[in-house]
Amino acid sequence: MKATIVTIGDEILIGQIVDTNSGFIAKSLDKIGVEINEMISISDDKKHIFDTFTALQNKVDLVIITGGLGPTKDDITKKTFCDYFEDELVVDQKVLAHVTQLIEGFYKRTITQINKDQALVPSKCTVLHNQVGTAPGMWMKKENTVFISLPGVPYEMKYLMEHEIIPKVVREYERPYIIHKTILTYGQGESLVAERIEDWENNLPVFIKLAYLPAPGRVRLRLSARGTDKNKLETALLENVNLLDAIIHDIIVGYDEDETIEVAVGKLLTQQNKTIATAESCTGGKIATLLSAVAGASNYFAGSVVSYSTQAKIDVLGIPESLIKEYSAVSKEVASAMALSIKKRMNTDYAIATTGNAGPTKGDSDAEIGTVFIAIATPKEVIVEEFNFGQPREKVIDRAVIKSLELVQKEILKNVQ
């Protein structure tokens, strides 16, 4: 079963917003064995939309369209969608009741004609109920292809994927199995890893595909197995992962089914019944943001001090001014003191501290641009490492954040009973 994801909207084509919807839809479909053939972003233009639908007709089984379902004039998706099926728009009473309830009941506003028009749908379509917004999803089949149109607002699209589309596809279509296994390595570059595992790679069975996903400081290896016999796929994956582990055991730090590092750290802390806090300078609160974005974070994440200015390090974290004068704000000693201070102040088991110079200018420290010290305080000790993450600013911040979470993960794993 093959699908193409189509995103409609000039705001994407001029780079005003980044399309995150397609990634979410792809991941949801991939999990149930639907292969994504292409993702396409096109303009809010009737002919362009129509031509795209025509080109995909009978080429894929499923076309999922997002965007262009809002109430205003520039949204021509619904009209074009309806024309493509040579259908006419009619009022869906259930949608109208829901829109009225949302506008008058929840938002306490008088309903307008534009609001009411959101209840117009092609007469032959299957309406997908959008509990969290006013624009319904629409499911329509023409010959061998199902076209599904969804609103572009991310949480409305997500609601419809989770509650309507995935269950309906699972119920109505047979799909093969697609199983991914991702191996996390770190410390060696993509080319070095590739040379070490070349023989192993050449011996992989044809139904297993390998991809390298390099990121600053680490490489993820993704194995994808596809076929109809689930047991065979799982056995082959396991065998090959074991073979791989024997070759590069020294650099494998984990296996990841779809799990971000902050989720992995959160799970570890929950299992161990431990808590964490952060003291952040150059990372500006981004480690805290990631940790707290996970549902249930309040069970292990106490909080953070973002001591961006030197004065904040002194006043809020209580780092002695003399220490900063002697070693500078960007130093092993200050990083270590920050980690110990926040651990004590937040009364946690673990703490992360970062201090560095992300650039573009040197600021009030003498450290080279890209220099970052990361300190991890554990129940037993405090460790500090120095890095140079190069340039530009965004890369330095992102690498420091990921490296911090990886280091704390390593320390927690060491202390697991």
State which of positions 29-48 bind a copy of itself (CB under 8 A).
30, 36-44
- Smaller CB distance to a copy of itself: residue 140 or 208? 208
> How far is residue 84 CA from its own chain's centroid?
34
Distance between CA 135 and CA 119 in Å, rounded? 7
Torsion angle (degrees, nearest 10) of CA 253, 254, 256, 261 = -60
* Contact set for a copy of itself, span 165-224 (CB under 8 A): 180, 182, 189-195, 201, 209-214, 222, 224
CB 141 within 8 A of CB 149: no
Contact between 389 and a copy of itself by CB under 8 A: the answer reads: no
Q: Which amino acid is at 303?
A: G
**Of residues 74-133, those binding a copy of itself (CB under 8 A):** 74-75, 107, 109, 112-115, 132
Q: Which helix (H) or strand (E) holds 238?
A: helix 230-248
44/7 Cα distance (integer angstroms)? 10
Distance between the two ends of the chain, CA-based, in angstroms?
45
Q: Which is nearer to a copy of itself, 189 or 320 (CB)?
A: 189
Instruction: Give the count of residues interacting with a copy of itself (CB under 8 A).
Output: 106
366 binds a copy of itself (CB under 8 A): no
277 contacts a copy of itself (rule: CB under 8 A): yes
CB of 75 to a copy of itself, least distance (A): 8
Sole binder of a copy of itself in the list 8, 56, 119, 153 (CB under 8 A): 153
Q: Rounded to the nearest whole angstrom, what is the least distance from the CB of residue 86 to a copy of itself in the complex?
A: 25
Strands 62-66 and 145-150, bridge-based pairing = parallel
Site stretch for a copy of itself (CB under 8 A), options 140-148, 168-176, 239-247, 287-295 = 287-295
Residue given tokens 């993960």 in the structure block: 409
Q: Is the CB of 289 or the CB of 415 nearer to a copy of itself? A: 289
CA 174 to chain CA centroid, Å, is 28
* 386 lies in the site for a copy of itself, by CB under 8 A: no
User: Could you check whether the bond before residue 216 is cis, i.e. omega within 30 degrees of 0?
Assistant: no
- Check residue 109 and give left, alpha or beta (phi > 0: left; psi -120 to 50: alpha): beta
Q: Which of 263, 316, 323, 383 binds a copy of itself (CB under 8 A)?
A: 316
Q: CB-wise, 54 or 347, nearer to a copy of itself? A: 347
Q: Is 17 in the site for a copy of itself (CB under 8 A)?
A: yes
Binding mask 227-266 for a copy of itself (x = CB under 8 A): -------------------------------x--------
Helix or strand (DSSP H, E) at 315: helix 310-315
- Interface residue with a copy of itself among 1, 393, 407, 410 (CB under 8 A) is 393
Are 247 and 196 spatial neighbours (Cβ–Cβ below 8 Å)?
A: yes
- CB nearer to a copy of itself: give 75 or 411: 75
| 414 interacts with a copy of itself by CB under 8 A | no
CA distance 409 to 414: 9
